[in-house]
Amino acid sequence: MVEKHVQNITEDEAALYDRQIRLWGLDAQKRLRASRVLVAGVCGMGAEVTKNLVLSGVKSLTLLDHRTVTEIEACANFLAPHDACGKNIAEASRERAQILNPMVEVSADSSNIEDKTDEFFTQFDVVCVSRCQREQLVRINNICHQNKILFFAGDVFGMFGYMFIDLQEHQYVEEVKEKKEIEQDGKKQTVEETKMVKRTESYFPLSQALDVDWTSSKYVSQLRRTSPAYFIMHILMEFVTLHGRNPDPACRSEDEVELLTIKNALLEKMAVPQEKVSNHFAGMVFGQVSPVCAIVGGVLAQEIIKAVSQKDQPHKNFFFFTTLDGAGVVECIGH
């Protein structure tokens, strides 16, 4: 994937990325330097992802979003100036993103992602998508899966956020500490050695991770320990599909009722007990809470860096954050 584009980094890049190279090694930095990234959906979370990836030293990053800057977006997205309301949000965010690292090529695309052909996505090594309906997320993921492109999806709704990863067959190295017995001065001693071990993980598409039979023997036993956040994500995806927008603070009362209606119907269809998801969630998914954007966007960017650099094991395959749990949760769900 990325390896075919790998080139030596320049002296200026080596100086700029010196601390990173010391942290994860020159080969990992070269892979980052060769990667072409698409960030689709320049919301508060997308801004966090963009910031971290540009600073990490990727080759290029394209911001894709057809929406305009609103007051809510200007508060959540620190890349978009407050005086840019009414302008395209991808174009308004490009300048500040570019200033973060002049060695990264940052571009903006104001097109609608729904109008993009399959071929458009194949020019990237990494595709990160947010603010899309479920149908589009699945479509883009399938394109990436078939073309061995690293796929990431995520979103933030108020005090709730999620991330999904599909890396197909992913190879990486990680440090493993082993204890070894040696003899020194006639005495046996136990020392700890660090080795780099190659590993492979298999991932599956979003469609399989969403289409789970919770009545099967495998998932009946897993349901009790599965985070409610997984089902909250389903409810929010259904809301966006039905209404073409996120829950709106201006329609809070009506949208809370609609979210609970969707919850009841969806959990019944999935054969999941209604008490699995507390009704309190319906009042917590409005707007974009900046600290939640920072947490989910930070983890998402971290996982992209790990996947591209092939250093350490990325999460498999969901990450959820909600103040209902008060912590981030990693879940592996799918066939």
- The pTM of the full predicted model, rounded to 2 decimals, is 0.91
* pLDDT of 7: 64
301 and 244 share a domain?
A: no
124 and 110 share a domain?
A: yes
Identify the domain boundary among 283, 301, 321. Answer: 283
Total of domains in the chain: 3
DSSP letter (8 states) at residue 334: -
277 and 134 share a domain?
A: no
Look at residues 212, 267, 205, 216 and name the one whose alpha carbon lies nearest to residue 238.
267
Kindly give the parts of the chain with pLDDT less than 70: 1-7
Look at residues 58, 170, 168, 65 and name the one whose alpha carbon lies nearest to residue 124.
58
184 and 163 share a domain?
A: no
Query: Residue 157 maps to which CATH number?
Result: 3.40.50.720
115 and 35 share a domain?
A: yes
22 and 63 share a domain?
A: yes
* pLDDT of 177: 81
- Whether residue 152 contacts residue 126, with contact meaning beta carbons closer than 8 Å, is answered with yes
97 and 6 share a domain?
A: yes
* pLDDT of 74: 81
* pLDDT of 285: 97
Containing structural domain, residue 273: 208-283
85 and 179 share a domain?
A: no
154 and 21 share a domain?
A: yes
234 and 300 share a domain?
A: no
28 and 96 share a domain?
A: yes
23 and 59 share a domain?
A: yes
